[in-house]
Amino acid sequence: MKIIDKIHEAESEGRVFYSFEYFPPKTEAGTENLYLRIERMCTMTKPSFIDVTWGATGNVGNNTIEVAAIAQNLCCIDTQIHMTCTNNKIETIKANLQKARDFGIQNILALRGGLFILFPLACLFIYCCTM
């Protein structure tokens, strides 16, 4: 379900809603621990959704999409990913958007992120609205 629909539904019913935000781990052990933590927290507290952040400075070497997809399937919880648009080539962003779609991720929070010049400006999304 789309996050905005969940928010509108909760607001119309006068319900409180909340989410948890997770940072993708850098190690395999950390990732396994995170899945256990997500499952435990979602079972105990029933958040409306969870959010998985993108890497610092637009780093696409992390596993944000995979973590969100596995959490979505493992815990049956709607997920949202942050996607930082700066410091990435257009082709990389397109590939990551397709990957998110392939994994069934419907909720993406597009962010500009901190501008850290790695590529010529002509190859970058400078603002998230240009995504």
The catalytic position among 9, 11, 21, 32 is 21
Report yes or no: 111 and 54 within 8 Å, Cβ to Cβ. yes
Answer yes or no: 39 catalytic. no
Rg of the chain, C-alpha, whole Å: 15
Structure tokens of 105? 């991720």
Q: Is 65 helix (H, G, I), strand (E, B) or coil?
A: helix
Q: How many residues are present in the chain?
A: 131
Phi and psi for 79 in degrees, rounded to 5? -125, 155
Question: CA torsion, points 95, 97, 101, 107, in degrees to nearest 10?
Answer: 160
What residues act catalytically? 21
